[in-house]
Amino acid sequence: MNDDLQPIIIGVGQEVWREQDSKRTPVDALQAVAAKAVSDTGSEQVLGAIDTIVHVPFLMNQVPGFVDAMPTNPGAALAERLGINARQYTSDVGGNLPQQLVNEFAARLTRKEGSVVLLCGVELLATFLGAVRAGQPFPDWATGQEDTAIQVGETPVMTAATEQAHGLYEPINAYPLFESAQAHAKGLSAEEHQQLLGSLLSAMSQVAAQNPYAWKSKPLTAAEVLSTAGGNRMISYPYTKVMNAVLAVDQAAAVVLTTVGKAKELGIDPDRWVYLRGAAGAHDSWFLSQRPSLSESPALVAACNAAMEQSGLRVEELTHLELYSCFPSAVQAGCDALGLGVDDPRGVTLTGGLSLFGGPGNNYSLHGIAEMVDRLRVTPEGAGLVWANGGYLTKHAVGVYAREPGISPWKPGNDGELQEAVDALPLVELADVGEGSFVIEAHTVSYAKDNPQRAIALGKLEDGRRCAAVSEDKELLRTLTTENCVGHKGTVAHSAGVNTFAL
C-alpha cells in the first residue's frame, strides 16, 4: 500500500578524507555530504524544501577540553551555507543515534511535523587527534553560531561507581566481557572461539576492501586477524587491535528523509525511494553489571522483533544486513537476536564494520544506512535491516528498509510499550563490596602494549548479588588468556574500594 505518509529515504551521501587537513572544518565536511545527498535525490526542488536539519553530535563534544574547539551549532552553520531556513535538532551521545533519529523523525513526518529532513554527521578525528599527537594547537573549528538546536532525548549515567572503579567504563574492557559469556553460552572451546573471531573479521575485511569509503581496505585472512604481528597487538583478550573500532577517521554521511506524498510533489523518481518499513528502539539496563544475562540483550531482541513485525517481513526475506560492529561480541549479539549465525551467507555488514570501514564516533550507522539505500536501489524486491548500538550493548535502534512499500498503511511503532516490557525483566543486584565465594560469569584481560596487565571479571556472590573484581596475578592472567573460565569458582576480597579475585 503506497501510503502518502509513509516515510522514505530519497537521497544519501558519504565521504572519506584520507589526507589530513586542519583547514577542512566539520561544517565544510557536512556541506560536502549534504550536497551529495541532495544531488542524489535527482530533484532540484529538494534543497529548498528541507525544513529540518538533524545533526548527529560530535564525539569530541564528550571530551573535556576539546569541545571548545568544535562548532557550537553545526546545524545552524550548515543551514546558512546551504541558504535554507530549517529547524535544527541534535541529541545526546551513542552509536544508536543515526537509526534512532531516522525512526524519530520518520514518526514526526507522519504527524506532519515537517516535510523534508536532512540528517547528517561527521567526525574529523584523524585530523584532530593527529594535531594533538603532534603537539600542535587544536584546530579552530568553532563557528560562533548561536546554539539554537533542539535536543532530542537524553541518556543517564551508564556506569555505576563500582563499575568505574573496576574499569568497566571503557568499552575495550566491557565488550570482551560479553565475548567470554557468549562463548561459554555457545559451548565453544578456546580453539573454536578463536576460529569464529578470525573468520568473522576476515569476512568483514573482504567487504571493507570493496568499499570506496572504507578507512582500511586491506582484506585479511583469519590468521592475520588473530596474529599479534605487524602492530596488531592484543588490546583486551581475546580482541586484537583489528577487532576494535577505529575512531581516528575523517568521515561524513548524510541522508534525506521525507514521505511518499512529498516525494511525489517534488517529482522524485520512485526508483530513488527506499521505504522505512519497520522501526523500533529499546535499551537494556543502564548498568551492564545488573543485566540478568551477560551473553544476550533482551532489549535488542525486543527491538528486532518489533521492527520486523511492523515491516510485515520475515528475517528470511531480508537480502541485506548491517549489524553494529564496534566489537565482535556486538555482531554476535545482533545475530543471536535475529536467530542467525555469524557466517550467514548474506553477511553481517554492508560497510565492512567499525574496525575496518571506520568508526566515526556516533555517526557510523549513518554510513550503514546510506550503504543500505544504495544496495536496495539495485536489488529488486530487496529488504534489509540496520541495527545501531550505543553504550555498552545498551541502547538499540533498528530499522527495516525495503524497495516495496508493504501491504498496510504506515504507522509508527510504540517504543514506550516495548521499553515497559524490557524494564519489567528482573535485574541482578549489584554489590560494591565482594567477599567470599565467587562464580565467574564473564572475564577479560587488558594489555599494556604487548603484555597482559590486569584481569577483570564479573561474577555472582553466594547471596546472588553480582560484583566486579580485578587481579594482576600473573598465573591467573595466563589462565584467562588460554581458556574460558566462565562458570569456574573462586574467591573475592575487598580492599581500598576495589574487589580482587582468584580462582
343-395 confidence digits (pLDDT tens): 999 999 999 999 999 999 999 999 999 999 999 999 999 999 999 999 999 99
Query: Among 482, 475, 497, 441, which residue's Cα sits nearest to residue 184?
Result: 441
Cβ distance 183 to 217 under 8 Å?
no
Q: What is the pLDDT of residue 410?
A: 81
Tell me the CB-side half-sphere exposure of residue 149, using CA atoms within 13 A: 23
Q: What is the DSSP letter of 137?
A: P
Side-chain-facing half-sphere of 237: CA atoms under 13 Å: 26
Q: Say if strands 436-448 and 451-461 run parallel, antiparallel, or are unpaired.
A: antiparallel
Burial class (CB in 10 A: 0-12, 13-18, 19+), 218: exposed
Of 128, 150, 147, which Cα lies nearest the Cα of 139? 128
Could you give the C-alpha distances from 258 to 6, 31, 119, 266, in angstroms and in order? 8, 19, 11, 10
Asked if residue 326 lies in contact with residue 173, where contact means CB atoms within 8 angstroms, the answer is no
Rounded Cα–Cα distance for residues 391 and 414 (Å): 22
User: Does 148 have pLDDT greater than 90?
Assistant: no
Give residue 235's pLDDT. 98
With a cut of 70, say whether residue 220 has pLDDT above it.
yes
Mean pLDDT of 415-436: 97
Q: Please say whether the beta carbons of 330 and 393 come within 8 A.
A: yes
Answer whether residue 63 shows pLDDT above 80.
Answer: no
The domains found in the chain, sorted by start residue, are 7-153+246-423 (3.40.47.10), 436-502 (2.40.50.840)
Q: CA 400, CA 278: separation in Å to the nearest integer?
A: 5
1-40 pLDDT, tens per residue? 669 999 999 999 999 999 999 999 999 999 999 999 999 9
pLDDT of residue 138: 85
Split at pLDDT 50, 70, 90, the class of 66 is confident
Q: Where are the alpha helices (DSSP H) in 60-189?
A: 74-82, 97-110, 125-133, 161-165, 171-185
Q: What percent of the chain has pLDDT over 70?
A: 100
Quick one: pLDDT at residue 1? 61
- pLDDT of 241-270, one tens digit each? 999 999 999 999 999 999 999 999 999 999
- How buried is residue 416: exposed, middle or buried, by Cβ count under 10 Å (0-12/13-18/19+)? exposed
pLDDT interval class at 180 (50, 70, 90): very high
Q: Is the separation of the CB atoms in 27 and 74 below 8 Å?
A: yes
Residue 443 has pLDDT above 90, yes or no: yes
Cell of 433: 563490596
CB atoms under 10 Å from CB of 433, counted, come to: 14
The residues, any chain, with a CB within 8 Å of residue 210's CB and separated by 6 or more, are none
Cβ atoms 85, 79 nearer than 8 A = yes
> Vertex 201, ends 195 and 207: CA angle to 5°?
140
- The answer for residues whose C-beta is within 8 angstroms of residue 172's C-beta and 6 or more apart is 235, 236, 239, 244, 446
Q: What is the pLDDT of residue 191?
A: 96
- Model confidence over 448-499: pLDDT tens digits? 988 999 999 999 999 999 999 999 999 999 999 999 999 999 999 999 999 9
Residue 400 pairs in a beta bridge with 278, 385
Residue 217's pLDDT band (cuts 50, 70, 90)? very high
In tens, the pLDDT along 270-328 reads 999 999 999 999 999 999 999 999 999 999 999 999 999 999 999 999 999 999 999 99
- Side by side, which strands form the sheet with 150-152? 150-152, 87-91, 52-55, 117-124, 250-259, 7-16, 274-283, 395-402, 383-390, 320-323
pLDDT of residue 60: 84
> What is the structure's pLDDT at 2?
66
pLDDT beyond 80 at 47: yes
Mean residue pLDDT across the chain: 96
Tell me which residue has cell 529547524. 87
